[in-house]
Chains A and B, each alone.
Chain A
Amino acid sequence: MKARYRQALVALGAAALLAVPLVVSDRYVLKVLTFVGVNSIIVVGLALLFGFAGQVSLGHAAFFGIGAYASAYLAGTLRMPWPASLAGAVAVAALAGWAVAMPSLRLKGHYLAMATLGFNEIMSVVFIEAKAVTGGIDGMGNVPFPSLGALELRTPATLYLLVWGVALLVIAAAANVVRRKPGRAMRALHATEPGAAASGVNVAAVKVQTFALSAALAGLAGALYAHTVGFISPSTFGLDLSILLMASVVLGGRESLAGPLAAMAVFTLLPYAGALVPGVSRVAAETIQDWVPDLVGLTVVVVLIVKSRRGGLTRPSGTTTDAGDVR
């Protein structure tokens, strides 16, 4: 009964999200909401990786960027059809995720965080220096709109529907994954690695697969982003975004998809408060905009302090050790 109630609620929420373009006519608001859809795809991947499997990544903005540049290059420069460029971008991002995960197998906690952070910085430099592909510091313009044959999606409403359609599919798939065997393996890994191994979980394989999967999702989001905004440049894929994403999962809580998604939605919308909420003055909006990174950082600090004393905001204390701890 309870499960059915929940299902109905989720279905209602999804329907409401897809009905937004019918109600909202402001093109800019639709664009901003589209960004929330893009970010939700990344956050789902990161929630699987960190919230469920307990593997830290401070480099997901890099995978987002890899997907964006790959798809923009394939479709824009090489003139490949859009679905092929999208698939190519996801494959490249998954491959990159796999390549980062393999040597990082032995790392956990802070060390894995540092390795992924380093990867993000390396990719930031690559995005600037690989001028032939990325256009250097000036970025790439004129990324074509998503198109299927003759059908081109170019209005904010259709782009919104495309992004949120994909996002809802991803969320549904992830919800399924966490309820089934792979999800149980991830949770076992999070709780205790030797225990998971003893229960027949192939620890190394689960780690690498989860990392590659979440990198692929970030790549998918990147590809959608590039075609939606039509312009990408290295500054979009920096550490700021990685930290914002990680903060969403930290704040949203462990073993939850809804929590991180809600936290990410708040963080993503915060800079646009002036545009979304009527009546917010320009000065107040600019102040919020200036303080967003600080707010995000502060939230993480507060959550971690409270969590370390009380064992978490969303879970009762003392059940398992925390993912961030070095064991």
Chain B
Amino acid sequence: MSRVRARFGAALVVAAVLAGALGGCGAKQGGGTEGGQADKEPYRIGAVVSLTGTYAGLGVPEKKAIELQRDAVNASGGINGHPVEVIFEDDATDPAKAAAAATKLIDQDGVLAIIGATGTAQTMAMRSEVQRAGVPQVSMAGGSVITDQLDPMVFQTPWPNRIVVPFVLKAIAGKGLAKVALISDSGGYGKDGHAIIAKEAPAAGITIVADETFNPGDTDMSSQLTKIRAAKPDAVLMWNAGKEAALIAKGMKQLGMTQPLFGGPGNGRKEFIQGAGDGAEGFRFAAGKILVPSAYGTDTEAYRVATEFIDSYTQKYGEPPDIFAGHAYDAFLIVVDALKRVEGEPTPAKLRDAIEQTKGLVGVGGTFSYSPTDHNGLTESELVLYRVENGAWVLDTQ
């Protein structure tokens, strides 16, 4: 008996020591986060990103990009003398967590605007919270639903599916491939893309010969791929943004399928190439120009903005930014640009109006011009087609 009690006591002591160490380390961290002079009240912005879960590969570079730009703004004196404070929340690629994070940012932290979320489903889950509180939201997700049904509070930085899908379908048709097998995920972004592909395919002269779906987090695609192989398509088009893409590319290789594989901006991530290995070779996808900046045209403002960002990001983190870092750059830029234009003490309502008046703002993903009827403001001209070659992205110029 006494032995048990002694052990229990020992465990308690260990726990207490750990808790103490934890508290101490936390306090140190907490004290050191805000550098620089804080003579004016900081402007608080919330950011809901997926740092864990299937979109972690998107959320992590997004957070890095925002931190980089926040430091840059604060180093140059902040906005009208106010430093910018960004409060990050991890939604774990879970809509329920994203909704809860929005509640916390709005009710407890009193943020002026929310950047996020990383994913379409998460962005949509935050909508009722954002609407009720009247706080503007700048999403980094590419689902068309985000801005199709115009919500006065919600803005979007990536090219939505309604712009990307026709572009990709045209590219497929242009290569003389008419029978396409579709595989998409059942989450917000995949579902959104699926609906638009089904609608736009006939116009592009493309027939969908197989239509398979999977759930985010699935770890086996063999049944879907077997059905796709049986349909004998000319090409396979996958539409998702999660880490499952690598499974599909790898699975096709294992099943001996040689059809060309196409995808969207959600696949322009390093983990895809690393995860799929040589299954990624020849994979083509549409995205913005940040991956190969010469596509902007070297004498343009966009090229200058992008290369400046790419250089500072590469210098700080030791790897070049991807398109998701670019979306985060744009989202932060849009909020900061609008904050600069707000007259007097900023409120969420004033900030929203200022964001809606964004005109000709050159970012990484494109040039943004919002209006009361368009909260995305991008066009097909911001897109290019990429191909994976020797484990790297190259422009696919046929």
A interface residues, Cβ below 8 angstroms from B:
26-29, 31, 128, 131, 136-139, 141-142, 156, 229-233, 235-236, 275, 280-285, 287, 302, 306, 309-310
Contacts and interface: CB of A to CB of B under 8 A. Distances in A.
Given A137-B186, A138-B95, A231-B125, A28 B107 contact: yes
A136 B186 contact: yes
Contacts of A310: 1, 4
Given A137-B186, A283-B29, 15 more contacts: A27-B108, A29-B108, A131-B186, A136-B191, A138-B95, A138-B125, A139-B125, A231-B96, A231-B125, A231-B128, A235-B94, A235-B95, A281-B27, A282-B29, A287-B26
Query: Could you say which of B23, B107, B124, B188 has the most chain A C-beta atoms within 10 Å of its C-beta?
Result: B107
A148 B291 CA distance: 55
Nearest to A284: B26
Nearest to A131: B186
Contacts of B94: 233, 235
Contacts of A156: 107
A138 B188 contact: yes
Interface residues of B, number: 34
A283 B125 contact: no
Contact of A27 (B22, B96, B107): B107
Nearest to A125: B215
B282 interface: no
B216 interface: yes
Contacts of B124: 138, 141
Contacts, number: 94
A278 B103 CA distance: 18
A310 B8 CA distance: 13
A230 B94 CA distance: 15
B128 A137 contact: no
Contacts of A230: 99, 128-129
A79 B82 CA distance: 47
Interface string B9-43: 00100000000001101110110010000000000
B170 interface: no
Contact of B95 (A139, A281, A285): A139
Interface string B215-229: 110000000000000
16 contacts: A26-B107, A26-B108, A128-B215, A131-B186, A136-B191, A137-B186, A141-B124, A141-B125, A229-B103, A230-B99, A232-B96, A233-B95, A235-B95, A281-B29, A287-B22, A287-B26
